[in-house]
Amino acid sequence: MRAVINYGQERLEIEVPEGQFIGIQRRPIAPPLPDPATAVRAALETPLGFPALRRALTPDDHVAVVVDEKLPHLSALLSPVLEHICQAGVTPDAITLLCPPSASRQQWINELPDAYEEVRLEVHDPSDRKKLSYLATTRSGHRLYLNRTAVDADQLVVLARRGYDPLLGYSGAAGAIYPALSDEQIREEANAKLSLAVPDDKPWSLRQEAIEAAWLLGAPFLIHVVPGSGDDIAHVVAGLVDTSDESQRLLDARWRVTVERPADTVLASLSGDPARFGFAEMAQALANAARVVRPRGRIILLSPASPHGDAGMDLLRQAEDPDAALSLVREHKLADPVAAFQWASAAQQATIYVLSDLSAELAEELFAIPLENASQVQRLLSSGGACLLLPDAEKTLAVTR
């Protein structure tokens, strides 16, 4: 049978031998939002169980906006948030855009309208004690130090994607605050809890702490963005912390799928603007594919990314095999070990092939076999065994029945 899978901003046509294709069971998919910026405006005006955000603000307030830099169309989504805040009389110089630790240069801020050129920008530094503030002691006994700007703000607003995460189970919502904006010690303790387990209705312990931290901050206002295929946006939901369940439900309806049985070969892809992808997205796609490939099967990753400068990737290159790589990840206290953990875990499960801009040498150092063209992908699929296609693999939580 002929099938098509999106890859970057291209489409790859392949032939899957009859009887070898494994289908995916998913719920009906809602169409993407035709105008995400308008959807953000609507969510701010009519949040769930809460009046319009601007009604909770006064002109004298300082507002901190936590920004998820991985959002597609970030400036288009952020502009209506700033517009809404300023409608309450808050001046742009009283607004701080707060980013979790990142290697990004925040070029997106140059795409915002000139009216917001006085908005401040801060990248959280968990090692700078002067920029941390003690908030409270959690029920589990953690002394909670969070970013000072977030703690001192009269109103904290979070603009973040919902997704799946090996630390929290579900990312975004309160997880965009904690442990993302906490101190080094809490982040290191959190990183020791990495898991490829499938999240369920019961919150993981770290996510429970994140919810507690959010409430201790007062009443942060959350703007949940549920991604669609490629660069599309599927849903925007806004409200207080208790609206997280609704955005989680929408995320699962869109991206949690069931497959009949593990596949011998999983063809996984990343679609959309290549500029949004790096080592982290490739690793997430591999980890999601690893859940539905048989042990010692094959994962073929189609990625438009050209990752470089990632500390986790550099650490993996020092190891001789995936087992040694995971040991290195556990021993070294990387600021963000998630991608290295996911990549090495997938390499333990299956043989990895990559069709990407990775050099052959770098791919091999990452325990992967480089492919040069699509015809090699076709030959692998035609060589036998059950095959599963997993488009937008970095977003998809696929589980076997």
- Please give the residue that has the higher pLDDT: either 376 or 30: 376
pLDDT tens by residue, 17-38: 878 888 888 888 889 999 999 9
pLDDT tens by residue, 79-99: 999 999 999 999 999 999 999
Amino acid 171: pLDDT: 95
Amino acid 383: pLDDT: 86
Quote the pTM value. 0.94
Distance in angstroms (rounded) separating the CA atoms of residues 24 and 27: 10
Identify the residue whose tokens are 């959002």: 71
pLDDT band at 202; cut points 50, 70, 90: confident
Distance in angstroms (rounded) separating the CA atoms of residues 17 and 29: 27
Among the four given CATH numbers 3.40.640.10, 2.40.30.10, 3.90.1150.10, 3.40.50.11440, the one describing domain 36-253? 3.40.50.11440
Q: What is the CATH number of domain 2-23+260-400?
A: 3.90.226.30
Q: Which of helix, strand or coil describes residue 350?
A: strand
Kindly tell me if the per-residue pLDDT of 140 is higher than 80.
yes
- Please give the residue that has the higher pLDDT: either 30 or 348: 348
**Domain boundaries, given as residue ranges, for the chain:** 2-23+260-400, 36-253
Residue 379: C-alpha distances to residues 237, 382, 393 (Å): 44, 5, 21
- E-strand spans in 332-390? 350-355, 368-370, 387-390
Residues 6+ apart with CB under 8 A from 350: 266, 289, 290, 293, 294, 295, 296, 297, 298, 299
End-to-end CA distance of the chain: 24
pLDDT tens by residue, 287-318: 999 999 999 999 999 998 878 778 899 999 99
**Measuring CA to CA, which residue among 237, 232, 124 is closest to residue 172?**
237
Residues 6+ apart with CB under 8 A from 32: 228, 229, 232, 233, 234
pLDDT tens by residue, 209-223: 999 999 999 989 999
Amino acid 1: pLDDT: 81
Kindly tell me if the per-residue pLDDT of 132 is higher than 90.
yes
Amino acid 19: pLDDT: 82
